[in-house]
Amino acid sequence: MTPHRHRMGRLRTVRSSLALGGVGVLAGLLFATNAGIFAEATDRQPQDLRDLVRDENERMQEVAEEVGELRAQVEELVTLRETQGSDEAPDPADTAVEQAAGRVALEGPGVRVELWDAPFTEVPEGYSADDLVVHQQDIEAVLNGLRSGGAEAIAVQGHRITSTTAVRCVGNVLLLDGNTYSPPYVITAIGDPDVLQQEVLSQQAVQIYLQYVDAIRLGWSMQSEEDIHIPALEGNLSLEYARVPGHQPYQPEEAPAPFPGGDPE
């Protein structure tokens, strides 16, 4: 090989080495940049469903506290206006409506019911994991019994229950108007304690639940109390419903006028 060709070969080798080195440097920079981006994303976003639920629950609690403060200000202003504007006693009909809507805190005698999961780390033979936890239908059965017994007010975990309250369970976690709760679940109701207990125990779903209480020690406690405090509802009473985009909400048609002289033959 001539000296000229030898130098050209070395030059090509040097250029190749520099090119490979440049590619390596660029790849390293890209890797470091991506790692930094994903690290920032990890810091900003939850990595699993549990963290997401916790973050959303904290956000909902902050919003609920802010709404509660604003509602307290509104009630204070309304009370001030009513006090300055009129000395007349409030209309009993208005008071009854507010009580039925859960806008008034109540106190009085009633019952306290508690439900909790069975204390097993391993599933007993002949049963499944679902048999060991409190389910949505168990809580709903107690609520139905309390309503049948004429409860004046009901609360779950201290949260006022009304006709618009949705009680949902995911596993052994209770979802209640944007809040999450874990067992034991505490249900309180104001009314005649004897009647309330009788109606709760008459529910077929409660009777089935009590069979599991005896068999695998599902948690159950129901007792009367002389003084129960149930707070006013803090949530929004506005109803939300779906509709076709661009269309007006569904309105039922007017009922036809009755046929003269009775139903046609």
**Domains held by the chain: number:** 3
- Specify the higher pLDDT residue, 73 or 224: 224
Residues 137, 223, single domain; the answer is yes
In a shared domain, residues 184 and 218: yes
Is the pLDDT confidence value at 79 over 90? Answer: no
Mean pLDDT, to the nearest integer, of 94-119? Answer: 81
Tokens of 248: 């007006």
- Domain with 168 in it: what CATH number? 3.30.70.1880
The pTM of the whole model exceeds 0.75 = no
Domain annotation covers residue 54: yes
Domain identity same for 135 and 195: yes
- Cα gap 166→178, rounded to integer Å: 10
Q: What value does the mean pLDDT take over residues 182-193?
A: 95
Q: What is the pLDDT of residue 29?
A: 56
Range of the domain at 161: 105-230
Distances (CA, A) of 14 to 6, 11, 18, 24, 26: 12, 5, 6, 15, 18
Task: Indicate if 135 and 215 belong to the same structural domain.
Answer: yes
pLDDT reading at 248 higher than 80: no
Q: Which of 126, 252, 120, 113 is nearest to 184 (CA)?
A: 113
Query: Quick one: pLDDT at residue 231?
Result: 87
- Is residue 55 domain-resident? yes
Confirm whether 247 is domain-assigned. no
Does a structural domain hold residue 252? no
Overall average pLDDT of the 97-119 stretch: 84
- The answer to whether residue 240 sits within a structural domain is no
pLDDT in tens, 192-205: 999 999 999 999 99
Q: Is 161 exposed, middle or buried (0-12, 13-18, 19+ CB in 10 A)?
A: buried
Same domain? For 68 and 129 the reply is no
Residue with tokens 């109540």: 106
Percentage of the chain surpassing pLDDT 90?
Answer: 35
Where does the pLDDT of residue 245 fall: very low under 50, low under 70, confident under 90, or very high at 90 and above? confident
The confidence band for 10, taking pLDDT boundaries of 50, 70 and 90, is very low
**Beta-bridge partners for 170:** 173
Give a yes or no: residue 263 inside a domain.
no
